[in-house]
Amino acid sequence: MQRHFVSFPKSGRTWIRYILTQLEIEPLIRFHHDGFEFNDGAKPPLDFNLTERLARYSRIDKLVYLERDPRDVMVSLYSQITGRFSDFFCYRGSISEFIRDEYFGAENLLRFRELWSRITDRHGFLVITYEECHKDIAESVGKVLNYYELAADRQRILQAVDNATFEKMKVVEQSGEFPFPWLRPRNDAPKVRRGQVGGFRDALCAEDIGYLNSVFRIP
């Protein structure tokens, strides 16, 4: 069975991926950003081809799509581009400029979200949100496992969740001993930052929040 897990970068997948790694289930799932990796300094054109995707993902048995408040996504992506990936892009603009950038900015995140709304509606894939995970991560992980038709003991899930607090994940990351690069520091910048819901309010001015609310049609 082909199992995929798709999200836009900085939507919070590392949290779930770390839990599934402890459950020894992560290798059974392909984690990716549908080509929107933002790790190539050449800035290859972003692909928004819906027809091609509908055909490609029709061949996938199970796919989970993770979504997060786009305002938090933009703030976290800015930190990644100017921190962990600073050597790729050498971006020097402000966060206000970043969210309006033709390549990294909010308009392209909106197009990605609209694209995936169409894909998940058409194929009936499971959609979860980062905000739901914050309310009850054990329940969210259970929902994902059930959808994937994978089993894990309830106590093992609870233990994995307990091991995946942001404080404990930061310790694991800073140790440099995690076996995979997706949870190791890069360019002296951490992967695990704050993990908050609504943290964008601390990083954006009122004008920038208003701009993102307008782009994403948030009242």
Task: Calculate mean pLDDT across residues 106-112.
Answer: 98
* 14 CB-contact burial (10 Å; exposed 0-12 / middle 13-18 / buried 19+): buried
End-to-end CA distance of the chain: 41
CB 119 within 8 A of CB 53: yes
The enclosing domain of 20 has a CATH number of 3.40.50.300
Which pLDDT tens digit goes with each residue over 4-43? 999 999 999 989 998 999 999 999 999 999 999 998 989 9
pLDDT at 159: 93
Write the DSSP string, 104-141. TSHHHHHHHHHHHHHHHHHHT-EEEEHHHHHH-HHHHH
Average pLDDT over residues 142-165: 92
Which helix (H) or strand (E) covers residue 5, if one does? strand 3-7
Task: Record the tokens describing residue 77, joined without a space.
Answer: 């992506």
In one letter, which amino acid is 162?
D
154 vs 114: which has the higher pLDDT: 114
The count of other CB atoms within 10 Å of the CB of residue 5 is: 23
What's the confidence (pLDDT) of residue 193? 61
**pLDDT (0 to 100) of residue 95:** 97
One-letter identity of residue 53: R
The residues, ordered by sequence, that sit 6+ positions from 215 with a Cβ below 8 Å of its Cβ are 70, 106, 107, 110
**Distance from C-alpha of 79 to C-alpha of 160, rounded to nearest angstrom:** 27
Tell me the average pLDDT across 186-213: 81
- 85-103 residue pLDDT tens: 888 898 999 999 999 999 9
Copy the structure tokens of residue 94.
């402000």
Structural domain of 93: 3-215
How many domains does one find in the chain?
1
Highest-scoring range by mean pLDDT, 35-44, 116-125, 184-193: 116-125
Instruction: Say what the pLDDT of residue 59 is.
Output: 96
pLDDT bin (cut points 50, 70, 90) of residue 167 is confident
Query: Is a pLDDT exceeding 60 seen at residue 148?
Result: yes
**Per-residue confidence (pLDDT) for residue 174, from 0 to 100:** 78
Q: What DSSP letter does each residue of 9-58 carry, written as one string?
A: TTSSHHHHHHHHHHTT-GGGSEEE-TT-----TT-PPPP--HHHHHHHHT
Which range among 13-17, 53-57, 164-168, 171-175 has the greatest average pLDDT? 53-57
Q: Can you state the percent helix, strand and coil of the chain, rounding each to 5?
A: 55, 10, 40
What mean pLDDT value characterizes the chain?
Answer: 91
pLDDT number for residue 87: 84
Instruction: Look at residue 27 in the predicted model and tell me its pLDDT.
Output: 94
In the structure, what pLDDT confidence band is assigned to residue 195 with cuts at 50, 70 and 90? low
Strands ordered across the beta sheet of 126-129: 30-32, 3-7, 62-67, 126-129
